[in-house]
Amino acid sequence: MEDGSITSIKVIKEIGAGCDEDVIRLLKLCSKWIPATPHPIAKINRAIEQSQRTAFRRK
């Protein structure tokens, strides 16, 4: 979003045991992102799609 908030969170490969829901919850709690720009006054008007891998270990 233009305000830096994270939207449309989607789990690509589920692992279950509530981990998927917990990752989504944590991502929603993240502070807003500040996008990088090539020039301070430049503005890109498009959505960015990003994938992020998260690893879990069983105790």
DSSP 8-state class, residue 31? P
Cβ-in-10-Å burial (0-12, 13-18, 19+) of 50 comes to exposed
Place of tokens 């807003």: 32
| Model pLDDT for residues 12-50, shown as the tens digit of each residue | 777 777 778 888 887 788 777 776 666 665 555 555 566
Q: How confident is the model at residue 11 (pLDDT cuts 50, 70, 90)?
A: confident
Tell me the domain boundaries of the chain.
Answer: 1-59
List of residues 6+ apart from 7 with CB closer than 8 A: 1
The overall pTM is greater than 0.75: no
